[in-house]
Chains A and B, each alone.
Chain A
């Protein structure tokens, strides 16, 4: 993961946490605010109901006076209504302040006074009814009780008003806190937005410029590759001309002027001719290599590798017979490839296995095939993830090589043995690698000195319509 990407993800997570936290706090605050609004409403209701109680008590008092003055029974009706109402009101007040013990205490005193008041009034009415007289002392007592009641209700209301003030304050405080949270939330969101925009923008800009650099690099590379290919082709082609003449003239010299040369001269001439021949072989190899580079992986067809191997073994039948080689081939697939190149690939690898053998030991060559779905993230090999590969391996029991040369042997003209020991120009494996690369594949060699080598080839499985 790139550094900047990690940076982006980290800052995103940090901001996400901050935003979630802030939102959570705001949500909590909303709940608190709602509760304090309810509390304020509740307190206001308590005050309202207590006012209602006072007016009910006043109604009772008024009804009593009316009756005592007029003896008119119609005054008893509002008295009875007020009596019932006052008791119900106290009950509902009790319920309203059930969570407040101080107010409950106040209320119980109020209730007692109220009951006393009602009792005295009832007594006064009864007395007036039976005697026809008004008991003034009782009336005065009633007034005293009423005053105490009023005072008590005032205490009750004052307490409730204090509560209201506190609750109002906390409501206002909560609302202003909420506003602050909202502003912070907005600011943080804006910063986050700005930062994300900046990061995305700068990343995009960076990628754009990288892309441009890459494109120009690719262009440059393509150009120099083409030039190099042309150079290799033209060079080896044009170098062939004088070389061919050297060979032809030295040949002519050997044939036509044999008699004029002594043994030493003939030997020297022979060496010259051999060197020229070898030089030409090398140039031929360069030519075929550069042609292979030019060709890339064009001319793709369905190739049956069983047929290809049969052809290859037929071409190599002389060597196979001479060395008494045993070749085991397991069933091979059909692949989508350049047939000529694939044939060359197997031809080179098998002829190498036939060439680099122990003196007097019959070569055993095993060609195996397996289809692999590379879902592992095994980076030890360069295989791409999520790509299916044809995996071929060619194993021999030849002289092998030290593993430190496992990569070097694929470089053109790199040889591990003298020309006189094992003939060859060092082009075969370079061509093999080129062919495999042309097919977007990979080739690896592993070996144990004196014990044999294995060449592993991985070719991505291509679909016909690709």
Chain B
């Protein structure tokens, strides 16, 4: 289990988490998927705080898929905090959101997002997108050491 890399997915919507999880299950399980429900939990997870204090179970992620619209700390704030934290900013973050607004796209790239993906409307589309994303970020790209 420790050999497998971790993907951290932040999404407040249970259905979306279910869909993403099912879509990821389509591909061979080559990684651990962890879900959190808001920005505070993302940061807690990265810092191994509160309920994520178990460093064995909650390993540092190789990729974060971040929803923008979440309660309490939303994706934009979370992105800003991670990318301005020297210890965390090397973790690649892909924004995965329903927002097509050009303002959000500009904002996220401005804050240092590594990619911006509009959630596909169909399950097939979602599967394919996640397939491409994971193979690019986990197989093709050389990531900084954890």
Residues of A within 8 A of B (CB): 237, 240-241, 243-245, 247-249, 251-252, 255, 277, 280, 287, 291
Contact = CB atoms under 8 A, between A and B. Distances in A.
Nearest to A246: B121
B70 to A, nearest CB: 13
Interface in B95-114: 98-101
Given A255-B124, A280-B121, A248 B98 contact: no
A240 B123 contact: no
Max chain B C-beta neighbours (<10 A), residue from A237, A280, A287: A237
Given A241-B98, A245-B16, A252 B121 contact: no
Contacts of A243: 121
**Overall SS of chain A's interface:** helix
Contact of A252 (B13, B19, B99): B19
Contacts of B122: 247-248, 251
A280 B98 CA distance: 12
Contacts of B13: 241
Nearest to A242: B15
B80 interface: no
Contact of A244 (B22, B98, B101): B98
A237 B103 CA distance: 14
A247 B19 CA distance: 11
Nearest to A247: B121
Given A248-B19, A248-B126, 5 more contacts: A237-B98, A241-B98, A244-B121, A247-B123, A249-B123
Nearest to B124: A251
A252 B16 CA distance: 13
A280 B120 CA distance: 12
Contacts, number: 35
B5 interface: no
Nearest to B20: A248
B119 interface: yes
Given A240-B98, A245-B15, A245-B19, A255 B119 contact: no
Nearest to B126: A248
Nearest to A287: B100
B123 A252 contact: yes
B12 to A, nearest CB: 11
Interface of B: 13, 15-16, 19, 22, 98-101, 119, 121-124, 126
A255 B121 contact: no
A255 B26 CA distance: 11
Nearest to B19: A248
Closest 4 A-B residue pairs measured CB to CB? A251-B123, A252-B123, A251-B122, A248-B123
Contacts of A277: 121
A252 B119 contact: no
A287 B101 CA distance: 10
A330 B26 CA distance: 55
Contacts of B101: 291
A378 to B, nearest CB: 40
Nearest to B22: A252
A247 B120 CA distance: 10
Nearest to A284: B100
A247 B99 CA distance: 17
A255 B98 contact: no
Contacts of B123: 247-249, 251-252, 255
Contact of A248 (B99, B100, B121): B121
Nearest to B101: A291
A252 B25 CA distance: 13
13 contacts: A241-B13, A241-B98, A245-B15, A245-B16, A245-B19, A247-B123, A248-B19, A249-B19, A249-B123, A251-B122, A251-B124, A252-B22, A291-B101
A240 B16 CA distance: 13
A237 B98 CA distance: 8
A252 B120 CA distance: 13
B127 to A, nearest CB: 9
A422 B46 CA distance: 53
Contacts of A244: 98, 119, 121
Contacts of B98: 237, 240-241, 244
Max chain A C-beta neighbours (<10 A), residue from B13, B16, B98, B122: B122
Contacts of A291: 101
Contacts of B99: 237
B45 to A, nearest CB: 24
B105 to A, nearest CB: 13
A180 B100 CA distance: 86
Contacts of B19: 245, 248-249, 252
A244 B121 CA distance: 5
Nearest to A240: B98
A244 B119 CA distance: 9
A343 to B, nearest CB: 15
Contacts of A237: 98-99
Nearest to B127: A255
B135 to A, nearest CB: 20
Nearest to B119: A244
Contacts of B15: 245, 249
